[in-house]
Amino acid sequence: MASQEVLNAVPTVSPIWGELPHFNASTIGRFNAALPAFVVNNQTLLSKLSLYLLLAIPLLLYANKKAEYDDGIPLLNRKFALEPRIFARFRWAFNSRKILDEGYAKYRDQPYRLAKGHADVLVLPEPWIHELNKLPLHCISSRKSHSTSLTGYLNGMDVVKETGHHVKMLLSRVTPALPVLLPNVSKRVQTTINDNFPKQGEDWKPVKPVQEIVLCIAQAVTVSLFGPPICDTPELVELCYVFTENVFSIMFVMRFVPYFLQHALVWLTPFKWRLERNWKQLEGFVMPEARKRKETPGLVKEPNLLSWMIDEAKSEEETDPWMLTRLIGSVIAGGTYSSAAFISGVIADLVNSPDALAEIQEEIRETHARINGQWDMDAFNSLDKLDSAMKETSRLAPGSLLVYSRYVEEDCTLSNGTQLKKGQFITTSGHSTAHDADLFPDPEKYDALRYYNGNLEKHRAQPFRSVEGEDHRWGAGRWACPGRFIASVVSKMILVKLLDEYDFKFTDGKRPATSVVHEFVFMDPGTKIMMRRKEKSSGIVY
């Protein structure tokens, strides 16, 4: 009787849906009576349905078996071969670290397949990198892999598939010219710090380190890419980081969406519209500048990436102003937030480790005195303790959990018989190596001076900017990060000033968390830490 009262109490008219079926006891009674009648009347239909179901199960099992890979390489992150890829996409987006840990625990020295959503990527053991580096140039491509995984087909950077001219120029021209570029960069970095960080005499202030440091990086990037006077245009400097934000926002969001919907749905995001505007703005800077420099031979002798790309181009296409804009855009995107987030991570780790911070501040003071305040490349390179802390932050929070991501352009067989097939994506799990207790004792612990206190000779021979060593923070081989020398020296330049001149504390007493989405590891740009300018510092002036 009680249940009947409850049933009768259910409102039968909803303000939203209008009249609802009246579920009282008599309705249920009628339904109960009608059920056997339905079964009797539709017996043939039901038996047909059960028959179809019985037939479908083995067919589905067979199709699933057929869809499985037959090369014996295990598949991770997909429950069964025919599972819709969207599930793998989401699992990878939110659980990448856990998935890689599972992969390493199960298949440490053998390859496994990782379902990332856009493709099933072959994860190879890191020691194999040595052999992969020896493969002929046309076998594996880094740019085709980066372009796909960073959704270059949506953010307009897929032209990097056509040429590696910008990468070659960064390595062969910009990097050797760093000692010449340094004074121009350091002056601007210093002004940006003075203008944007708390001033002398001010109390503790909350600061968003990523957002403030990115202003310094944007200055360094515009000097190296464009040179003066255009590098001092405030709109161009701002464009550097706004553009990068939009590039990465598109990638972060669209990596959740199945490929066949991406080209349409991307237009529903504000980032795509903003990015289209940013590309036009960048064209407005680069295209007239490129034409001017092409027509004025003296201008292309200035030390900056744009001039070198024009001066050393091997084909008409490589000096095409539109192409130059796209390639320059890809360098800006590669170097801006990656560096700012990294530097913020080093600061957060050191603030969380006060003894190490004090030692590094002492190292900076001693070096300043030893070099008589002349901060050049050698001076920055001599900061062994700071270099060690930088390595440790990048070990625990690298830009990407995966390194050495490549696209296989031609079938090839490795010496152990593993076959790489044209069209496959390969990668290695830098994260797994960086957390391997055999390589890094107590791997979860942050130990700023791990490398300095370990083998100092090796540490000096393989500094932060080096591609040698156990963890491949810059990738590896011919196509390792071409901006690593710039990133290393500019990071030190900024860290030396900030660590020497400011006090830091966390807003809630705890180190801000590092976020991981897809394979990307970063400090949230909205994170705040408290900063105050010290009353007394070494008086470093660049």
What residues are designated binding site for heme?
481
Is position 227 an interface residue for ligand HEM (rule: CB under 6 A)? Answer: no
Taking CA 208 as the corner, what is the angle to CA 206 and CA 211, rounded to the nearest 5 degrees? 150
DSSP codes of every residue in 259-286: HHHHHHHGGGSHHHHHHHHHHHHHHHHH
Q: How far apart are the first and last CA of the chain?
A: 87
Cβ 503 to ligand HEM, closest distance in Å?
Answer: 25
Number of neighbours of residue 85 by Cβ within 10 angstroms: 17
Is position 388 an interface residue for ligand HEM (rule: CB under 6 A)? Answer: no
- Per CB under 6 A, the segment of 132-140, 242-250, 266-274, 468-476 that binds ligand HEM is 468-476
The smaller minimum CB distance to ligand HEM, of residues 257 and 420, is found at 420
Cβ 221 to ligand HEM, closest distance in Å?
Answer: 6
Among 482, 495, 497, 522, binds ligand HEM (CB under 6 A): 482
**Encoded tokens for 481:** 């990060």
Q: Is 44 exposed, middle or buried (0-12, 13-18, 19+ CB in 10 A)?
A: exposed
DSSP codes of every residue in 435-451: T-TTTSSSTTS--TTHH
The smaller minimum CB distance to ligand HEM, of residues 78 and 406, is found at 406
Cβ 418 to ligand HEM, closest distance in Å?
Answer: 20
Is position 403 an interface residue for ligand HEM (rule: CB under 6 A)? Answer: yes
From residue 93, alpha-carbon distances to 115, 143, 256, 513 in Å are 11, 22, 8, 17
Q: Is 495 exposed, middle or buried (0-12, 13-18, 19+ CB in 10 A)?
A: buried
468: Cβ–Cβ under 8 A, 6 or more apart, which residues? 461, 462
3-state secondary structure of 77: coil
**Angle, helices 484-501/209-226, rounded to nearest 10 degrees:** 140
b (16+ CB within 10 A) / e for 247-269? bbbbbbbbbbbeeeebeebbeeb
Is position 149 an interface residue for ligand HEM (rule: CB under 6 A)? Answer: no
Q: Distance between CA atoms of 284 and 293, rounded to whole angstroms?
A: 15
Per-residue string for binding with ligand HEM, 187-226, x by CB under 6 A?
----------------------------------x-----
**Encoded tokens for 29:** 């009674």
The smaller minimum CB distance to ligand HEM, of residues 128 and 342, is found at 342
Per-residue string for binding with ligand HEM, 53-92, x by CB under 6 A?
----------------------------------------
Contact of 219 with 542, CB cutoff 8 Å: no
The smaller minimum CB distance to ligand HEM, of residues 223 and 250, is found at 223
- Per CB under 6 A, the segment of 17-25, 28-36, 277-285, 478-486 that binds ligand HEM is 478-486
Rounded to a whole number of angstroms, the CA Rg of the chain reads: 29
CA torsion angle 325 290 294 331 (round to 10): -50
Cβ 71 to ligand HEM, closest distance in Å?
Answer: 24
Q: Distance between CA atoms of 521 and 514, rounded to whole angstroms?
A: 7
Cβ 147 to ligand HEM, closest distance in Å?
Answer: 8
Taking CA 92 as the corner, what is the angle to CA 87 and CA 93, rounded to the nearest 5 degrees? 100
Q: What's the per-residue H, E or C state across 328-352? A: HHHHHHHHHHHHHHHHHHHHHHHHC
Is position 391 an interface residue for ligand HEM (rule: CB under 6 A)? Answer: no
- Residue 68 half-sphere exposure, CB side, CA atoms within 13 Å? 14
Per-residue string for binding with ligand HEM, 159-178, x by CB under 6 A?
-x------x-----------
The smaller minimum CB distance to ligand HEM, of residues 271 and 479, is found at 479
Cβ 331 to ligand HEM, closest distance in Å?
Answer: 5
Cβ 484 to ligand HEM, closest distance in Å?
Answer: 6
The smaller minimum CB distance to ligand HEM, of residues 334 and 512, is found at 334
Cβ 125 to ligand HEM, closest distance in Å?
Answer: 16
Per-residue string for binding with ligand HEM, 419-438, x by CB under 6 A?
--------------------
b (16+ CB within 10 A) / e for 191-228? ebbeeebbeeeeeeeebbbbbbbbbbbbbbbbbbbbbe
Is position 486 an interface residue for ligand HEM (rule: CB under 6 A)? Answer: yes
- Per CB under 6 A, the segment of 193-201, 240-248, 411-419, 476-484 that binds ligand HEM is 476-484
Taking CA 312 as the corner, what is the angle to CA 308 and CA 317, rounded to the nearest 5 degrees? 105
The smaller minimum CB distance to ligand HEM, of residues 77 and 339, is found at 339
The smaller minimum CB distance to ligand HEM, of residues 175 and 361, is found at 175
Phi/psi for 182 (5° steps) reads: -55, -50
- Per CB under 6 A, the segment of 148-156, 227-235, 437-445, 480-488 that binds ligand HEM is 480-488
Is position 487 an interface residue for ligand HEM (rule: CB under 6 A)? Answer: yes
- Per CB under 6 A, the segment of 24-32, 38-46, 270-278, 477-485 that binds ligand HEM is 477-485
**Encoded tokens for 100:** 């890689």
Binding-site residues: 481
Among 476, 495, 529, 540, binds ligand HEM (CB under 6 A): 476
- Per CB under 6 A, the segment of 88-96, 269-277, 416-424, 470-478 that binds ligand HEM is 470-478
Cβ 470 to ligand HEM, closest distance in Å?
Answer: 15
**Total residues binding ligand HEM (CB under 6 A):** 28
Among 89, 113, 118, 143, binds ligand HEM (CB under 6 A): 143
- Least Cα distance to 383 among 488, 533, 536, 501 occurs for 488
Q: Distance between CA atoms of 366 and 374, rounded to whole angstroms?
A: 13
Per-residue string for binding with ligand HEM, 308-347, x by CB under 6 A?
----------------------xx--xx--xx--x-----
Can you give the binding site for ligand HEM, defined by CB under 6 A?
Answer: 142-143, 146, 160, 167, 221, 330-331, 334-335, 338-339, 342, 399-400, 403-405, 474-476, 479-483, 486-487
